[in-house]
Structure 1
């Protein structure tokens, strides 16, 4: 029962029964169903030596309804696999794709396969499987996998005659004169998406010609090359026409240019309009011809160009450049002739929503890493066939309860195991000739997806030791064809049923990959929790996972299994402290980092003007730092100015925000955002913790019963206030999945505003403040009053609330949340 609770696995069962060996509850990109939807899926495996007729067997996610969904007539061969989509679409036609009448819960639930009597559970994940992650599999491990990995050492030959016959497929063959390489072997393969070059310049990019010069390699500070599915980038400033923006690959900032290239597939001949929404200017080329040129500097704007195109492939190139300020870039297209934006336009590459398909061969990776050995020179225009040999060893062939061949290929192949033909595709009957061609072509996208072949019936061909070879005769559709690929993976092993694992490399329909994790360490708990305290406390940190270790820090740094103090017992805290902790255990996923800020007003009012430990003692890159409370205010006997008790009362009169992050990311000369306030963009965003802490006895006028803690991305914001003479900068906080929770789900402004946020600003009074000239005009209410008045007059307005702010436990004055109109 303990194992079932921790791992969600029933006790070991008979290998004669079908098993659920892997499933996925949050399928975002791994496997699409026949409708193009990325539905949940369940993998069924036959671990036995005889075929299993699945008709009448059941799948269920409800232990009170064991016969919830029934299999149709399906035969599962020995060692075979079957993928059933848990989509809720309820399809059970023999020979067609199968869909259950239920979906899976990513948070965890019951899952079982049930015998035809509808009452006998053959295997169950009970009482429920644990919480799942996007694009991550969960299920049973296989002993002895993999045998041949992608990237394996191999020998290859483009034959010039048929003298070798099939002798080259045997394990004892000596490949004299063959070339060596690594799999995959091929050339010219394209993948979905666009190649993106992000080039940062050492000079100001004040014109299109300067941007082109940077793309040509002149005055380059750095260059980043990647592949993205669409061109939809946003750094700072206003957005364009589409949401779900990507960060610029090079990190954003000023004076850089971005070029995207690929091959679009035009479905219907006719006039097509291409658009670029960018900040600043840009250009679009189709088949090397300019269709739009915008050589001006501006904010987000649409610019269009039209071209009559024949159906089929066409090259596309778009670029933009950024001088300063906001930056964004979107590339879209629509059939027809248009001069302004409308709903017909879709992002190029966004095929799910009707956008044009686009493919690319990224420079330097030849098929995004699928092709490790380029054979275009040896093969293209010479022969449509290539021989490939991959020697391998296996310790105990008798443990091969299942044997699978996973193939990515373009266009056809015949596979031999120690001289015996075991699998083939797109090849004529009989032994193919030395110059044979594939019987059908495969589209580039097909070649990217692995096709699984069950070789379990050939397991007895395996030899113990090193006397084994997988030989593959690859066939192209024509010697002149522009692409070819052979990328095999051989998997062998028997299923283990004692516990379940997470798989970072999911393999629907095949033997599972090497397990990534036995489970997740239970989150850390703190007692007492964050808040205000007047007396020393002892904080206990726990995790409910037996045998888990905990490390903690009090200097803002991120604890890891190798950084921080090992937790051995309650921690004594008597002054303002930021406590960060994580739990870990070998073979399991570590927890995230939890942050708790403990505030002592007696300590805060005495924070010194001297640099706190870890903080700069002087200016950094010209950036001025000032610390501590104003003793003239704290110790004043004039109640109109301050006084100890009045200042302490003020610190708990409104809620508090505590930002905690690695000190180097905040203040170091090279990477600290506060010490480089003029730098902007994604490259100058640092991961941080944000806590909203209610003071004792606080009744929130916005109706929130308690505060929150969440991860975020932290940047400096502002214009004139970014000057290094200013010791108090404003911040922008980003809430994205990479920091844990995605959006911030919290009513910062009660029912007055939104209850979820992608970003929020924290600002202090800048034009009228002690930090900007010591002016006496600072009233802290001018901007807020004017915005609220605008709202009271019935116009759209930005909301705000006041808070006390702490950076790594150091009091940083007052700030206000500043709602962003696009957030």
Structure 2
């Protein structure tokens, strides 16, 4: 120990796949307009039945991998009549390395889909979720699926796929040649609101007698508000509200001759949870308990009713051959959060279709469909607006023009830091900028996706600050009129001026100009007039930006520490940090800076906030606390042995911490919200056990000896150095507060 200051089940390709989609936030990032077809189209070679049909390279909120993370993903589709063994096939993002990531022994069924997460985690265990050893570059790169010989390309996006947008997928167009609705929105059905376990689990079977159940349609609902009113279906408020949290729905349908079809898709809209069955077999679930019973409830409520109306899909293409000529049964266990929940929805459609993959036509998909047939999509996206003035710090007021090439496009913009929508103001004349401003704009063009959001940041200086210079670096922080910085994240712009020939000047070009998010930080210092700030530098709302100020290693997480009541000398902490680094013990790198913090109007002398310490934030990483990265699946030795970062301190908001070795501790890495995920339980148990063993070893008779029992749990020399530094500085918080500790892999 050192001191330092998805789907509910993975797909193997052999079964119908249920992917719990989180409804899209349609936020778009930069992408070129009108790519030449050869530059963005895939190529498929020979008589091919395997296609790389869809992928997402900017997954922010769409759906999680089994680790609970929003990893990018790649979809493989077998359009052929027979299953395919994928062992030895490969995925690559490097034209020079065709075998970069090879599949294990994994079958993909006829007409089936397989999802591979492009997470960089490199997991290849058959029957479990697959992860490549590379991540996708949202700015565009080569991507291909190859046969085991490493030469035969099945699908490739060459020379690169175009830049991608958050939560928008990209892939091959699919043409629907014919379709047949087996279950429509108002197909006759029957429902039971169970008040006991009389029907047991037999109600999902095809031959169950449901004649005594209430006749309804395939859409059942109620809403004490109005959101679900436009949805066609049967209102069951009198049957369900206050009487039960579960609804059993059975829909009988005739199969008929489906030999002309190659795709079967189940569409669902629900609130709050659901378990789906086909002819007695479970085919998917969402937000449901492990063993649903007659009185079960949904574990969590859905975000809102609008989210419930967003369709989700289950591909049942592998079940086409099992649909019987006569009667078939779809059964659903609908779940509400409680029996007093003011709304409920369960709506379903089952569509058989004949689809054809267009191997040389690509589309953007604002509604991604992982593990099921692609939606129609859009051929391109609208052109992002161009700004007549680049972002910067200015000494005069500005007149900004926005433009696009298309005569049909409409530009909409915001000045309140929000994302432009169809309800935002229409740009019609130049915008006068008199105060520090963040302008966000996008264009809307019929037939195209809305454009990526473009942004411009403009800091306006008043005349009284133009002659300000310093022998320290100058940092301007402007939050666009939002006044004081709250505990929640707030958007801002930061300009950093480093000294040239011994002086820094506010009217020179900044060395770094970046967007950022801020929040108030500190415990003992909370509420002091000179705010401490947590800073994350960002490219945009979805991406961090690494910067390297003052010669420090590039990173995105920083702190503006405001020494005041507890350090009137201003350099007590930086001095000790520097000593630690010179002793070879990592401590945060620092630089004294002069700060202007503007929360209203143009930035002037009145916004001077004094001398701060620009410093690194303690976090895991090669240039910070260099312990091994700990993935959710690292649950066995040696991986589970590290790395961990924890602290003796007051808890962060919403954190509770843990007890080990007779000490109350708080998680730093992994974060508490991450370590509490069920799959990480072995990690928490390991560290707790390790620290308990450490505490048990301390009182033994071998304690005075360096070779004693306790020494195996700690780096003795590092501990001695740590105590020397705390004694030298008379640190009143030593081993009481603000004490960070870590344990690396296979190390004390």
TM-score, normalised to structure 2, is: 0.49
- Higher-RCO chain (CA-CA 8 Å, sequence separation at least 6): 2
Q: Give the number of the structure whose alpha-carbon radius of gyration is greater.
A: 1
TM-score, normalised to structure 1, is: 0.46
